[in-house]
Structure 1
Amino acid sequence: MEESFRDAIARSNEDARACLEEIVRVSDDRSAVHALLKRYIKSKYLLDETEMECEDIAALSKASVDKLLANHRKEALQDVSSVCTGSSSASTKKVLLVMSIQKGLGIKFDAKTSGSLKTIGDLTREVCFRLAAK
């Protein structure tokens, strides 16, 4: 039997939570943190391994929105650009991703840093730096 969309989200959220817990444990190993952040994004964005080949967070955000729009009720996932001062669903998704990582790890990036995070590598560097400073 095929997994329901709601079940897929629940499973993905559980995996994402586990990733954050593991990141705290291995925060001094940048390579491990990078792999866990990549898995976290894969889970939160409901992407598969082939869709995770790039490191660009904005491109991954767009891929996630596109996939959701293609596979699920379009009326429930309409682009929010008309109500969010011109920001796209993909850019909103990226902001929410960064916020969820900060909250889950108990760290905080300033606005300039958050805006400068372009790749999973950038995110890894900042997460490792903030966790080391905790």
Structure 2
Amino acid sequence: MLSVAKILVALTLASASLETPTPHATNGTGDVFYYKPDSEAGACGWMNTTDQAVATVSNTTFNGFPGATPKNPNTNPICGRRIVITGNNVTINAFIVDYFEQDKNAGPNDVGVTKPEFMKMAPISAGIVRDAVWNITM
């Protein structure tokens, strides 16, 4: 026979498991490049400009994010999340609004940021900031 204390502990544990889960964060190390939003909406469905602090991540990061919706990228929970990037001893923040297709020049852990954010880490003429560490948060 279970004691009242054991029943209370069991109920407490059961109710704790029903709480809203902790938001997922994704981390990586990759290169940062200059990202210029197109004149069309990005994968998240928003129009952005080069003077905003926005970012693009690889299709692997975008579609692999917990709760990703590949059939409708506009509803992907990664959209609008903050990405904190540290490169060249500088930390910047941007919001994810798009993704890029990986190719021979851009890998799964690379990130693109708009001009104002890139220039905090390096001049545009540098073209790339190598081995930056990034973290996607709420």
Q: Taking structure 2 as the reference length, what is the TM-score of the superposition?
A: 0.24
**Greater share of strand:** 2
Q: Taking structure 1 as the reference length, what is the TM-score of the superposition?
A: 0.25
**Which protein has greater RCO, CA pairs closer than 8 Å, 6+ apart?**
2
